[in-house]
Structure 1
Amino acid sequence: MDQAPGSPQEPQDAHGLPSCYRHPGRDTGIRCTRCERPICPDCMVSASVGFQCPECVRTGSGTGHGPTANQPRTVAGGTIVADSFLVTKILVAINVAVFVVVLALRDRFVAETDLIGYAFSPQLNAVVGVADGEWYRLLTSTFLHQEVSHILFNMVSLWFLGRLVEPALGRSRFIAVYLLSGLGGSTLAYLIAAPNQPSLGASGAIFGLMGAFAVLARRVNLDMRPVIAILALSLLLTFTREGISWEGHIGGLVVGALVTLGLVYAPREHRTLVQVGTCALVLLATVGIVVARTVSLT
């Protein structure tokens, strides 16, 4: 999702789309409103009308004043940085590191960190679960995997989606979407699934990135048909494959889309306030749901 300049010689794909001039090979239908060169989501800087490329902003084409007036920004207002995939790399590394711990400590570690609502654990010989005060399970379970195929599929998905979503949001906003999506998936699973049914995995957070990408694609006027097709296929697999926590997937998808809506459609004059408020409201809603479910179980 990034690429190229507006001359007859600029590279094009089989469908005639030019490539981002800063990232050859990434097709795009968006152009800088000043120089008219093709730009991808990584390179889009929000302007009063449309988007500008980082070079037009950096060379002082804007009308602001002061050292930060022309600083390139993402579509959500985040700072454009040299390594635009750093958080994605860190998240993959954390998931892999936790998987190594699982291989070393096995069932006991999983029993202490997976998502359980309320149940008796034979491994720990005790009652465990979120309803027993172990709220940390709502988050630790989102970094937990037991099978090689499970973590491999999730990390490939995280790598692919992270390289699309993180540059478009910026680091801090990407972290917020990822963590809140994972928490939202765990919360819906805690609310609906049987309290003694364990679940784990990064799928809720990854579905949140799918929801975020759908919102971003709509925001920058990309063709929504491929996005809808990917979402439809993912949901089909969610509801047709055995052993899948559909609650975690749907919870993550909804939260990721809602948070990203608040991030990318926030009015510029109150952007930070609206963005922080959106994240806070989603967090408060999840806490409220968890409290209500805990009361019902205990």
Structure 2
Amino acid sequence: MNAEAPGVPTEAPTCYRHPGRETYVRCTRCDRYICPDCMRDAAVGHQCVECVREGHRDVRQPRTIFGGQVSATPVVTYTLIALNVLAYVAEVTSSRIVNEYAMLGVATDPFGIVHPGGVADGEWYRLITSAFLHSPPEASFGLAHIVFNMWALWAIGPQLEQVLGRWRFTSLYLLSALGGSVLLYLVDPAGAAVGASGAIFGLFGAFFVVAKRLRAPAGGIVFLLALNLVITFTVDGISWEGHVGGLIVGAALATGYAFLPPGRGDERRRTLLHAGATAGMLVLLAALVAIKTSQLAGITVI
């Protein structure tokens, strides 16, 4: 057994992160010496920065009923609004933006003759870029087009983003927009369209599904949806395909998010099921576009 020699001073302990600093305070979790710069207040005593960091990893992050992380700021909603506004400024500045990025299945002239261009000619990006463009000020709907869509996104987007979580909400929005473009491509490939309406109708459908899942009042969204459907089918110049396509995709995807798994499952299983539903919808829409493109491949192009 070792013993300290009488009269020899004992070396003072130092901080494990700062060896040159003397201290007599220990971390209550790992028992290592820590200096004032490394101390973090704990329920009892102090802990070192590493133990505090490790403790935070063990704390389970709060989740919504659909598996999304709880967030007070609707970052995705605000980002989407900003992107739509920036795209509108760009198209007002240059008329080429609409011509090059609007939804167009096949390009035709006034005589119905098909020309190179459109989704069928490999411009697949039009399926999604068109959802960030709107009618220019001189068009029939003018500013009302983007104003209504952005108002709707601002009104119901934050609520959906809060309950679904960011990645589910982003997927829902983009796939609803894609669904509207795909239905237009299937039904009227020569038709042209712009607008976030397909995505907005997808949010309408998702809001209804989420409300039913949470047993919350859904009368308001039903009235808003019915009113917009009446306008869709009675006002000339509106692409009903874009609206209906977005509505179908949004409602279907939200059903997957809201009811999968059917019972209380672990977080990993739920995330995998929701990711699978998202990927499945994307694959389905891509397959429909590929099939339609193959059907249009026989059209003579001059």
TM-score relative to the length of structure 1: 0.73
Matching residue of 1:117: 105
Matching residue of 1:166: 161
- Structure-1 separation of matches of 2:87 and 2:153: 15
Query: Among the aligned pairs, what percent are the same residue?
Result: 47
More deviation in 226-235 or 249-258?
226-235
Deviation at residue 230 of structure 1 after TM alignment = 2.0
Matching residue of 2:277: 278
More deviation in 259-268 or 137-146?
259-268
Matched, 1:129 2:118: yes
Structure 2 residue ranges without an equivalent (≥5): 1-56, 137-141, 298-302
Deviation at residue 224 of structure 1 after TM alignment = 2.8
Deviation at residue 121 of structure 1 after TM alignment = 6.9
Matched, 1:140 2:129: yes
- Structure-2 separation of matches of 1:121 and 1:159: 38
Number of paired residues? 228
Matched, 1:219 2:208: no
Matched, 1:203 2:194: no
Structure 1 residue ranges without an equivalent (≥5): 1-65
Deviation at residue 228 of structure 1 after TM alignment = 2.0
Whether contact under 8 Å (2:201, 2:246) holds in the other structure is: yes
Q: 1:128–1:96: structure 2 CA closer, same or farther, 3 Å change rule? A: same
**Given the alignment, which residue of 250, 254, 275 partners 1:260?**
254
Root mean square deviation, CA, Å = 1.8
* Amino acid aligned to 1:96: V
More deviation in 264-273 or 197-206?
264-273
Matched, 1:67 2:66: no
**Given the alignment, which residue of 149, 156, 159 partners 2:144?**
149
Q: Map Cα deviations across residues 75-132 of structure 1 (whole Å, 9 max, x no partner).
A: 210101231x1111100000000001001111x221100011111479xxx6210000
Whether contact under 8 Å (1:139, 1:183) holds in the other structure is: yes
Whether contact under 8 Å (1:121, 1:128) holds in the other structure is: no
Whether contact under 8 Å (2:253, 2:281) holds in the other structure is: yes
Whether contact under 8 Å (2:72, 2:162) holds in the other structure is: no
More deviation in 91-100 or 268-277?
268-277
Matching residue of 1:50: none
- Structure-1 separation of matches of 2:76 and 2:219: 28
Deviation at residue 226 of structure 1 after TM alignment = 2.7
* 1:64-103 alignment, distance < 5 Å: 67-69=58-60, 71-83=61-73, 85-103=74-92
> Which structure has the larger Rg?
2
- Structure-2 separation of matches of 1:232 and 1:277: 31
* Amino acid aligned to 1:67: D
Deviation at residue 229 of structure 1 after TM alignment = 2.0
